[in-house]
Structure 1
Amino acid sequence: MLNPRPASAVAEFIALLEARTGQQMGANRNWRIETALKPVMRDTGHDTLEKLAETIRADRGGPLADRVVDELLNQESSFFRDAAVFDIVEQAVSAIPDTRRPRIWSAGCSTGQEPLSLAMLFAEKLDHQMPEILATDVSESALHKARAGRYTQFEIQRGLPIRRMMQWFDSVDGDWIANPGLTRMVSFRRMNLVADSLPIGRFDVILCRNVLLYFSLDMRRAVLGRLAQVLRPDGVLVLGAGETVIGQTDAFRPSQRYRGLYEPNWAAAAAA
């Protein structure tokens, strides 16, 4: 059992995470701090969280603070996570006229499994043009892995059928590396959903799954408002299974076309 830590050091790391990403860490998740930061402490020679916090203060939020934030972020992901969601996204994209290229944004893409799943899905559809896929995340280390497209045997087997694994990945030294043709289908970019400039243009589908869970209600409302700004009037928003716009914002409403998805609430926007 982990020894309890003074609230001061724990509070500093919680505050750092929120300041850098907008994400909050509830009291029921404080135990993750020491577990997540053990590799940092080992690599930097700090034997307590308090000493690590002191160094970060002295460093004035330099590279060490960046690494701490990366370690505290939840990067849980898998290929074709919640497969039914991808079926619905495919339906939504298939309904887009062939006169324009569909645009998809994977917001909070973590280590890349979601956007690469989308790329595989649509590359295999010969009856529709390949969408433009943008993938963003606040973590540079997660994006580094996503761009490399390198996954362990455990990671590659989570949600990825053997047929697709053999078609799109090569086995190298016990890991699996995505074919360059696959990773080129996705544009990876670092972005803080709370603070950074929004992507240029509008999207037909925005996936922002299991990201809003870690924001305060006010921050959630602000992020949803930002997402609505870059979603086409007939576009759809995909949230995680435990997330909803109901009671969170007037910018979206449940989609009348696709069960479980959301669409811009232009009536509310006009009334405002």
Structure 2
Amino acid sequence: MTHAALPASLPTSVASPTAVSVLTALLEARTGQQIAAYRSWRLDTALKPLLRDQKLDTLDQLVTQLLKGSDRLIGDRIVDALVNQETSFFRDAHIFETIVEAIAAAEGTGQRARIWCAGCSTGQEPLSLAMLFAERQETTGAAMPEIIATDVSDAAIVRARTGRFSQFEIQRGLPVRRMVRWFDTTGSDWVAKPELAKAIAFRRMNLVSDQPPPGRFDIVLCRNVLLYLSSETKLHVFPKIAAAMRPGGLLVMGAGETVIGQTRVFEPSKRFRGCYETQGPPGRS
């Protein structure tokens, strides 16, 4: 009897329940993110490059190395590998039209508009915003908003600051016109032009345990980040985000996310469909 070959995406090794427990507990302790039991196959897929780099064969061996404590950075590398870094330029393009409209409304207050990208991954989202508002400035003279981008992953922030992307990454959501206008080629890679990169302040931040960037924001983009947090952790994070927003500020979440049934701090926006606004004084859960 013959058997069909396993798809390449399935794990080729099996971790013990103890190893799975240690790795998922590490991720939750460091980031607040959870991996459901039925998705534990992600551990093998995400950590396979790290196993190769450490010349290890199994996740159990990796956990043994972690528990020995001989490599102080191994925990950071495990967490960086497990954090979901799926992103692309102008992801859900219609959202960016809403953001421009909301920023235009915020500019009527006379203050410089501020945007916080929470969970910016390798930088495509804030760079998309920077391109959008730089082009708007060229055509209308409107001021550039301040853009602050944060992520729990040190490795992601390091990459985001370089503004360097492969041919595959640059083509995901970015038309050729913008590729040529805002990026230079370096070998087979594309690097954001200095005037674009300097429009963004990248910072490493744990949304669960760290304080938000100082000041208040007109828009907070937190897309597909809270999706991986427990309900209890969300009750802690939502008020923290609300407290970092200006009155009338807008929270933008992922297409599959909602505040309904999660918190009373935010409510669906009546002005901007699919977005959320603070309800009552910040800090009430």
**How high is the TM-score relative to the length of structure 1?**
0.96
Given candidates 1, 20, 32, the residue that maps to 1:10 is: 20
Deviations 1:101-128 (A, max 9, x none): 1000000000000000000000111332
Corresponding residue pairs, total? 271
Counterpart CA distance in 1 for 2:164 and 2:282 is: 44
**1:81 matched residue in structure 2:** 91
Structure 1: 4+ residue segments shifted above 6 A: 267-270
Deviations 1:222-249 (A, max 9, x none): 1111100011111100000000000000
Q: Is the 8 A contact 2:114 2:218 kept in 1?
A: yes
Distance 1:102-1:38 versus aligned 2 partners, 3 A rule: same
What stretches of structure 2 of length at least 5 have no aligned partner? 1-5, 7-11
What stretches of structure 1 of length at least 5 have no aligned partner? none
Deviations 1:162-198 (A, max 9, x none): 1111000011111111001111000000000000122
Counterpart CA distance in 2 for 1:191 and 1:42 is: 28
Deviations 1:102-158 (A, max 9, x none): 000000000000000000000111332100000000001001110000001111011
- Which residues in structure 2 correspond to 1:123-202 (within 5 Å)? 123-126=134-137, 127=140, 128-202=142-216
Counterpart CA distance in 2 for 1:194 and 1:264 is: 19
1:55 equivalent to 2:47? Answer no
The RMSD of aligned alpha carbons is 1.5
Deviations 1:21-45 (A, max 9, x none): 0000012221111121111111112
**How high is the TM-score relative to the length of structure 2?**
0.92
Counterpart CA distance in 2 for 1:41 and 1:56 is: 12
3-state SS in 1 of match to 2:87: coil
Counterpart CA distance in 1 for 2:226 and 2:211 is: 18
Distance 1:240-1:60 versus aligned 2 partners, 3 A rule: farther
Distance 1:19-1:267 versus aligned 2 partners, 3 A rule: closer
1:253 equivalent to 2:267? Answer yes
Distance 1:189-1:267 versus aligned 2 partners, 3 A rule: closer
- Residue identity over aligned pairs, in percent, reads 54
User: What is the CA-CA distance between 1:98 and the residue it aligns to?
Assistant: 6.2
Counterpart CA distance in 2 for 1:17 and 1:108 is: 15
